[in-house]
Chain A
Amino acid sequence: MAYKLVSADGPQSVPALLHRNAKQFANAPAYREKEYGIWQSWTWSQTRDEVEALALGLLELGANEGDFIAIIGRNRPYLYWAMMAAEMVGAVPVPLYQDANAEEMAYVLEHCGARFAIVGDQEQVDKVLEVQDQLSQFERMIYLDPRGLRKYDHAALDQYSAVQDLGRKTRDKHIKELEARQAKLNYDSTGVMLYTSGTTGKPKGVVLSNRNIIETAKSSSEFDHLRQTDDILAYLPMAWVGDFIFSVGQALWTGFCTNCPESADTMHVDLREIGPTYYFAPPRVFETQLTSVMIRMEDASRFKKWLFDTFMGIARRVGPDILDGKPVGFMDRLKYGLGELMIYGPLKNTLGLSRVRVGYTAGEAIGPEIFDFYRSLGINLKQLYGQTEATVFITAQPDGEVRSDTVGVTCPGVELKIADNGEVFYRSPGVFVEYYKNPESTADTKDAEGWVATGDAGFIEESTGHLRIIDRAKDVGKMADGSLFAPKYVENKLKFFPNILEAVVFGNGRTECTAFINIDLTAVGNWAERNNIGYASYQELARHPQVMDQIQSHVEEVNASIAEDEMLSGCQVHRFVVLHKELDADDGELTRTRKVRRKVIGEKFEDIINALYDGSSSVSTVTEVTYEDGRKGSISATLEVRDAKVFADNRKKAAA
């Protein structure tokens, strides 16, 4: 595109960007959604009209400047528009996690004092109605999908399209007011408020200004040379800062098209149909995809399997170098080209990644095997490091400098410093304004000079300038002998095995490390099926002796690799159990973004941890579980405690 980027004197708010796009890219697609089996699309000028109609409707319903408007539902263009419409009327959009239960929602809705909520469907309407009595300021709800809602009392309930119609009808009455309110928006006005998932304690409302959103969108778009013709697939929770920046911030800045899947179940088909050029997925998604490819290859005919293995071997050897533009021999290029024709191309097409020019993963460490697999296919997958408080971007990997164990160099405009205890601090134009109604936490996180504590421990590699993250700063502890304890570092190594879904390592202040392991039901179940091993439940499969043996060998492999690391060799896992239930967000053991809550787990499974340290060979336990509908039950089990071989420092010698 010949389009020149405007700087700080350009559009200073999200609605201003929308108006700019409606002129500049009037007939280019802005949003697409698959509905009734067809991709429906809206151009930028149509988007502006839709947003404006909704904003006018909100004015008629009495939305005030400074109100908070909650947005709850799966990724749909209408809900992105709702966020923009909220900003147009001078209100603050607050997207919520759609799978949160009613109480979690009640907390957030009451904390921000939302007067309106714009929600997706009956499920969300029901949840809000359930807790409505606890909400002192809540007034009206607007819903998208009318199904099942016909009989509901519509005194404080409106259909989305009805509000838009209302807006179109009362346009003359409110348009002056709407324009006046938009004119007041500037770089310092609040653009969005996002609640962090809260690894510890209650969620905190992160206030992001238009400056945060637009400056970040601008610098990150330039960093990756995003184009107006790019396509992304919006399928990650709307309440997550990443989705907001990709699907609203960057989309508005560069004017690319945001595509919404038909439903959560059709994501993969939709991904393939759209073939995004700019794609983000958490490591888990890449992992699941790779697992399913590998499982299907196991069932393929011998010739096909040979073909796959041969060409994947070539790809592993030369693929990443070709992608990085390094010199590669002629014969290897020829072989890689042949592989592209026969294996890589069709495979990328099946995965829906054929057109990916910029791909990112973040949130958790990604296994080197998995990362290299995608890169060797010629997919430009990179890592970034960020958080809600930074409006996503802190560091990212530039093209050509991509490795699985770093998170890249600082993004444009970001400064980094490492504290004495290893904690990473940053300062940037994307640094959040404050935690809403929580000045104490704001002061704890952000100092007077604008430096923000990430809570992560890491270091900057001297040779390359890349940042490496080892663990959460508060989780990094000391073993009894004073050596470094970094549980997540070990857990990530364990989780790189397809058989292991989740791991929790203990050992802070103790003489040796131990671990809880969760098996991956898909991978282990498939293995069991192929080996004619019958099982009736997760629990039964988890304690099968052969499964235990496999897990033990994985643990020992990890121990061997940790032993080679000078700093962390004390973190080898001496004893472990395979848990009888999957750790679950509904039971409070994981956050909604599936991060481990150590404290909760430590208290809940105290008996098992004790067994790991007192030398017993098995432990009986009863655990409370919460079903999806909120009912509670309990499961009891006897778990086997196993010893794993540990290795002497630096040398691979058996010591135990």
Chain B
Amino acid sequence: MKDQADGYITADGRQIGPVVMEMKNITLRFGGVEAIKDISFDIREGEIRAIIGPNGAGKSSMLNVISGFYVPQEGEVWYKGARRAPMKPFQVAEQGIARTFQNIALFEGMSVLDNVMTGRLTHMETGLFWQSLWKGKAEREETANREVAEKIIDFLEIQAIRKTPVSRLSYGLKKRVELARALAAEPSILLLDEPMAGMNVEEKEDMSRFILDVNDEFGTTIALIEHDMGVVMDLSDRVVVMDYGKKIGDGTPHEVRNNQAVIDAYLGVAHDD
């Protein structure tokens, strides 16, 4: 299935496109510590790609490599058919990659709406001068961006807290607002760092539904890190399993679940090295 270069159609009828991002032999070191050892995998357009593994396996480091925040010492990242050079964060955003954080990183004092609007920043063209004058193009642009933000607010069902300052929200809602802000950037790849961490069952169910709906409705490619195996297996099309910085499995949830190395990593066997 994976070999079809132009993509394929999943069992539930979703169109998965060609490879949009490819990791080639990535190795990342922090001083003497090798966080990621010679890992290769790809992400296809329109799929939900999960990265799982026990604590300290290097998942978050991997996500930071994808987002361009870490530059690996060895290996290449190919994005949309071209090799990617080291970038600044704003360049990452301009390339159409948005993310959420394991520890929520919202503007606590600002309202939900304002937070979501910050996600539109890369889509604004008028400069400080016109924005201050608030005439003509700047005003039109704000209206258009507000419309996008409102559609996302509607989509994630957070209308009731539109004007509420983020600091007053529950953890589960903050996570949802963070997702809203990332979506506001209209990303082609959305990176989610443990979107369900610390949530109760109901919040997890809601979040899972939103992730599936986002992928379904906007065709957004999603790469996510998650601890909750049940969630990962239900959500994702393909899963990369990491342990001690190495890739020990890669495939559909079904393949991964039956992979002996993965079972060992999760059940804990003595490691030789």
Q: Are B154 and A148 interface neighbours, CB within 8 A?
A: no
A37-B159, A37-B162, A266-B159 known; A147+B217 contact, CB < 8 A: yes
Q: Pick from B48-56, B120-128, B145-153 the stretch touching chain A.
A: B145-153
- Chain A 37-54 interface residues, beta-carbon cutoff 8 Å to B: 37-38
Measured in the bound complex, the distance between the Cα atoms of B154 and A147 in whole Å is 11
Interface size on B, residues (CB 8 A): 20
| Complexed CA–CA distance, A252 and B113 (Å) | 37
Given contact pairs A147-B217, A148-B212, enumerate 16 new A-B contacts (beta carbons under 8 Å). A36-B147, A36-B150, A36-B154, A37-B113, A37-B146, A37-B153, A148-B209, A148-B213, A148-B216, A148-B217, A150-B217, A151-B13, A151-B14, A263-B159, A265-B160, A266-B159
Contact assessment for B12 and A35 in the assembled complex, using a CB-CB cutoff below 8 Å: no
Residues of A contacting B151 with CB < 8 Å? 36
A-B contact pairs, 15 of them (CB 8 A): A37-B150, A37-B153, A37-B162, A38-B150, A147-B155, A147-B213, A148-B209, A148-B217, A150-B217, A262-B159, A263-B157, A265-B159, A265-B160, A266-B159, A266-B160
CA distance A265 to B160 in the complex (A): 6
The interface residues of chain A lying within 8 Å CB-to-CB of B13 are 151
Residues of B within 8 A of A147 (CB): 155, 213, 217
Q: Which residues of B contact A37 (CB under 8 A)?
A: 113, 146, 150, 153, 159, 162
Task: Number of A interface residues at 8 Å Cβ cutoff, please give it.
Answer: 13
Bound CA–CA A186/B162 (angstroms): 47
The smallest beta-carbon distance between B201 and chain A, in angstroms, is 11
Judged by DSSP, the binding face of A is loop
- The CA-CA distance from A151 to B153 in the complex, in Å, is 23
Assembly CA distance A81 to B113 (angstroms)? 31
Per-residue A-contact encoding for B129-164, CB less than 8 Å = 1, 0 else:
000000000000000001100110111010110100
Q: Which of B147, B151, B160, B209 has the most CB of A within 10 A?
A: B160
The chain A residue sitting closest to B13, CB to CB, is A151
Most chain A CB within 10 A, of B154, B155, B162, is at: B154
Q: In the complex, which residue of chain B has the Cβ closest to the Cβ of A152? A: B13
Question: Is residue A293 contacting chain B, with contact meaning CB distance below 8 A?
Answer: no
Instruction: Establish whether residues B159 and A151, one from each chain, have CB atoms under 8 Å apart when the complex forms.
Output: no
Q: Is A285 an interface residue (CB 8 A)?
A: no
A residues 15-72 near B (Cβ < 8 Å) are 35-38
> In the assembled complex, how far is the CB of residue B153 from the closest CB belonging to chain A, in whole angstroms?
7
Interface string of B158-174 (1 = CB under 8 A from A): 01101000000000000
Residues of A within 8 A of B212 (CB): 148
Interface: A269 (CB within 8 A)? yes
| A259-274 interface code vs B (CB 8 A; 1 in, 0 out) | 0001101100100000
Query: Could you tell me the distance between the alpha carbons of A151 and B162 in the complex, rounded to whole angstroms?
Result: 30
CB distance from B261 to the nearest CB of A (A): 33
Contact partners of A38 in chain B: CB under 8 A: 150
CA gap between A188 and B229 in the complex, in Å: 61
What's the Cα separation between A35 and B154 when bound, in Å? 8
Of B12, B14, B146, B159, most buried by chain A (CB within 10 Å of CB) is: B159
Closest CB of chain B to A636's CB: distance in Å? Answer: 23
Expressed in whole angstroms, the Cα–Cα distance for A319 and B14 within the complex equals: 64
Shortest distance between the CB of A235 and any CB in chain B (Å): 14
Closest CB-CB distance, A616 to chain B, in whole Å? 39
* Cα–Cα distance between A249 and B123 once the two chains are bound (Å): 47
| Alpha-carbon gap, A150 to B153, bound state (A) | 20
How far does the Cβ of B89 sit from chain A's closest Cβ, in whole Å?
29
The chain B residue with its CB closest to the CB of A149 is B216
Closest to B163 in A: A269
Evaluate contact between A151 and B12: CB separation under 8 angstroms. Answer: yes
B220 to A: closest C-beta gap in Å: 13
Q: Which A residues are CB-close (under 8 A) to B14?
A: 151
Assembled-state Cα–Cα distance A263/B146 (Å): 19
How distant is the Cα of A266 from the Cα of B157 in the complex, in angstroms?
11
CB contacts (< 8 Å) of B216 on chain A: these are 148, 150-151
Cα A37 to Cα B14 with chains together (Å) = 31
Residues of A within 8 A of B146 (CB): 37
Q: In the assembled complex, which residues on chain A have CB atoms less than 8 Å from the CB atom of B147?
A: 36
List residues of chain A with CB within 8 A of the CB of B150: 36-38
Give me the 3 closest cross-chain CB pairs, A-B, nearest first.
A265-B160, A36-B150, A266-B160
Q: Which of A35, A36, A38, A266 has the most CB of B within 10 A?
A: A36
Query: Nearest Cβ in chain B — how far from A233, in angstroms?
Result: 16
A263–B155 Cα distance when bound, in Å, is: 12
A275–B209 alpha-carbon span in the complex (Å): 35
Q: What is the distance, in angstroms, from A647's C-beta to the closest C-beta of chain B?
A: 47
Residue of B nearest to A264 (CB): B160
Shortest Cβ distance from A292 into chain B, in angstroms? 16
Using Cβ atoms and an 8 Å threshold, which residues of chain A touch B12? 151
Given the complex, which residues of B lie within 8 Å of A265, measured CB to CB? 159-160
